[in-house]
Structure 1
Amino acid sequence: MFKQILIIVIIFFSLISCLENFEKLPEKYRSDENLLKQIKPNSKIEYWQIDYVTGFSPDKIFSNGNLNLIKEIQFPKNHNLGGFFTECQPLHCNYRILYIENNKWNFVQDKDELKKFIGKIDNEYEAFLIARINNYNIDSKSNGNGFEKTDYGYKLKVMVYNSCPETKQSFIVTVDKKGKLNKLTDLGYYLQSGDCIIY
Structure 2
Amino acid sequence: MNSLKNTGILVLMLISTLVFSQEKKKFASLQNVLAQIIPNDKYDFWVLVYNEYGKNKEVKISGSKKDYLPQFSGFDLTPSEDTFFYIVNSKGGKISYITDLKDLKSFIGKIDNAEEAALSAVLEGYIIDDEFVDLAANYYQDSKNYYLDLGKVTSVECPYQKKHFTLTVSKTSGMIEKAEENGSYIELYNKKCKNNPRLLKIEKKPEPKDDPKKQPAKRR
Q: 2:180 aligns with which of 180, 185, 193?
A: 185
The answer on whether the counterparts of 2:74 and 2:86 sit within 8 Å (CA) in structure 1 is yes
Q: Does residue 62 of structure 1 match 2:53?
A: no
Where in structure 2 are there 5+ consecutive unaligned residues?
A: 1-18, 191-220
Q: Which residue of 1 aligns with 2:167?
A: 173
d(CA) in 2 for partners of 1:80 and 1:138? 24
Q: 1:35 aligns with which of 29, 33, 36?
A: 33
CA RMSD in angstroms comes to 3.1
Any idea what the Cα deviations from partners look like across 1:123-162, whole Å, max 9, x if unmatched? 1111112223333233545433442335554221212246
d(CA) in 1 for partners of 2:134 and 2:54? 37
Q: Which residue of 1 aligns with 2:8?
A: none
Q: Which moved more, 1:106-115 or 1:147-156?
A: 147-156
Any idea what the Cα deviations from partners look like across 1:82-124, whole Å, max 9, x if unmatched? 31116443xx431000111111112111122111111111111
TM-score (structure 1 length as normaliser): 0.66
Deviation of the 1:64 alpha carbon: 1.3
Any idea what the Cα deviations from partners look like across 1:52-94, whole Å, max 9, x if unmatched? 2346554323211123xx16xxx4x6x85331116443xx431
Where in structure 1 are there 5+ consecutive unaligned residues?
A: 1-18
SS at structure 2 position matched to 1:157:
strand
Q: Which residue of 2 aligns with 1:133?
A: 123
SS at structure 2 position matched to 1:52:
strand
Q: Which residue of 2 aligns with 1:6?
A: none
Provide closer, same or farther for how the CA distance between residues 176 and 113 of structure 1 changes in structure 2, counting only shifts above 3 A.
Answer: farther
Superposed counterparts of 1:45-124, under 5 Å: 45-54=43-52, 57-67=55-65, 70=66, 75=68, 81-85=72-76, 87-89=79-81, 92-124=82-114
Q: Which one has a bigger Cα radius of gyration?
A: 2
d(CA) in 2 for partners of 1:170 and 1:88? 20
Q: Which residue of 1 aligns with 2:208?
A: none
d(CA) in 2 for partners of 1:108 and 1:64? 15
TM-score (structure 2 length as normaliser): 0.60
Provide closer, same or farther for how the CA distance between residues 166 and 117 of structure 1 changes in structure 2, counting only shifts above 3 A.
Answer: same
Relative contact order (C-alpha < 8 Å, sep 6+): which is higher? 1
Aligned length: 165
Provide closer, same or farther for how the CA distance between residues 179 and 155 of structure 1 changes in structure 2, counting only shifts above 3 A.
Answer: same
